[in-house]
Amino acid sequence: MYKRIDHGNGEIEIQEHFRSPMVYLDHWALNDLSLDTELRDRFIDVMTKKGGTFRISVFNMIELSRQTDVSQVTSILDMIDSIPDCGLINTDPREVIKKENMLISDSSLRLNPSIEIDIVAAHLMAQNYPTEWHVSDIIRKVIPELPSTRLSESNSEFLKDMERLLGIGREDKDYLSRASKRLKKLKDSGPKYQAATRELFIMALDFVMTNKQMKMARYSEWTDLFHVVVPVSYCDLVMIDKRWTAFIMQTSFSYPRIAKVFDKKSSNEFFQTIETWKDTIPNHGVNQITEKAGSR
């Protein structure tokens, strides 16, 4: 939940507070829930009653900008608009790990490394800091501009790098041996810090590398990785593709160190978990208040 605080002298502070359960949906799940009237109403109802935070990523927005069916995009945005507590999440593991390193070096910082506060602050500044707004307003403004932004280009370059690495690594027996040993070591040792971001990032890449039958030929298959690592590290409940739930099971990590994960076949369990959710402090041990200051 975002809060606008006017300190006077033209200084506006934007705070983000998270409430449990924090929920993240891979883009296929976002479509499935929003386009099925029964599922949409059930999701809106349970998130409203439980007061949890529904988090949306730039990758969700990029994929929304590529959907050609306007009615589908409208349905998704209408569902998001109907959920009272929505926020953005930065799903780029590289950027999140950099912020985690800041916390490691200075524990006094009040920071959740998974925030995507800059987009929120920029939107509110452009609107002269309104007293009320919803994340759906920001998404509606941002998605027409996303395909041409530097952020989208940067992520595309990262995905190309991963494809090159995959091509080289799968042909290198020594590299594959080291990857298998590293995977086992990380499983045995568990997350070193408060969130499992760095371990999951390394393990996800090694998981792809060592599973030669795992096809990663399309752009969308690589973007799935961005729907896994950070959301699973910083949310409570995450819906992802079946093969990535299989990956999470192989990590030996479990809730509350990481999120509970669900795929299409376990969607009913996903709903039951939210509906029976007990009020609790958000997980993963990271301070859940983040802030950004701006000026009128």
Distance CA 158, CA 33 (A): 29
pLDDT of residue 285: 37
| pLDDT by 10s per residue, the chain, length 296 | 888 787 877 788 888 888 899 999 999 999 999 999 999 999 999 999 999 999 999 889 988 988 889 999 999 999 999 999 999 999 989 899 999 999 888 877 777 899 988 888 888 888 888 888 899 999 998 888 765 454 555 556 666 777 777 777 777 778 778 878 888 888 888 888 889 999 999 888 888 777 767 766 565 667 777 789 999 999 999 999 898 998 899 898 999 899 999 999 999 999 999 999 986 555 443 333 334 444 44
Closest CA to 114 of 24, 241, 30: 24
- pTM: predicted TM-score of the whole model, two decimal places: 0.85
Distance CA 40, CA 30 (A): 9
Enumerate the domain spans of the chain: 2-295
pLDDT of residue 245: 92
**Length of the chain, in residues:** 296
107-117 burial, b for 16+ CB within 10 Å, e for fewer? eeeebbbbbbb
pLDDT of residue 1: 80
pLDDT of residue 283: 46
Identify the bridge partners of residue 105 per DSSP, sorted by sequence position: none
Closest CA to 178 of 141, 144, 205: 205
